[in-house]
Every structure is written in C-alpha cells, then in structure tokens.
C-alpha cells in the first residue's frame, strides 16, 4: 500500500467519524425558506458544493493560462 493510499484511508475514517457524531436535525433559514435536515446531509452537501466549485475554478483558471512550449521535441 502506498503512502498516498494510507493517508486517504485515514482521512476517510476521520470524515466518517465526524459525520457519525453529527446526526441531529438542524434548521437552515435562507431568505424566506426554512429547511430542516440532518446535519450529516448538510455537511455532505457542503462538501460536495466545495468540491464542485473547486473543480470549476481549477478548470477555468487552467484553460485561461497560455500553454508553455514543450521542452521536449518528438
């Protein structure tokens, strides 16, 4: 097993422990809406939104950079 795999496994276990400890229902107020959901669902949705936003920003900033010429010629 690689060090990267071990670190990923440890992080996964830590995330599952944190999610397992946050099972109570919370109410979210956004402008005029009130939504009640489990804190686990809220944390997962927040994490998913962060991953999607990070992916989109990374793709946008990567495509706007000029490509550097390759140092290796075929």
Domain extent, residue 54, equals 21-58
Residue 14 lies in a domain: no
Residue 65 lies in a domain: no
Phi and psi at residue 31, to the nearest 5°: 55, -105
Q: Domain total for the chain?
A: 1
Which pTM does this prediction carry? 0.57
As given in the structure block, the two tokens for residue 27 are: 């109410």
Which residues are bridge partners to 26 per DSSP?
37
Q: Which residue has the tokens 């959901």?
A: 37
Residue 1 lies in a domain: no
Residue 73 lies in a domain: no
The pLDDT of residue 30 is 85
2-51 pLDDT, tens per residue? 889 999 999 999 988 987 888 899 998 988 999 999 888 888 889 899 99
Average pLDDT over residues 41-64: 87
Residue 54 lies in a domain: yes
């Amino acid at each position: 097993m690689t060090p990267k795999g071990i670190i990923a496994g440890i992080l996964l276990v830590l995330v599952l422990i944190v999610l397992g400890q946050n099972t109570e229902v919370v109410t979210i107020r956004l402008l005029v809406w009130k939504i009640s959901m489990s804190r686990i669902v809220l944390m997962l949705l927040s994490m998913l939104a962060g991953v999607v936003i990070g992916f989109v920003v990374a793709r946008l900033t990567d495509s706007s950079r000029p490509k550097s010429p390759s140092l290796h010629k075929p």
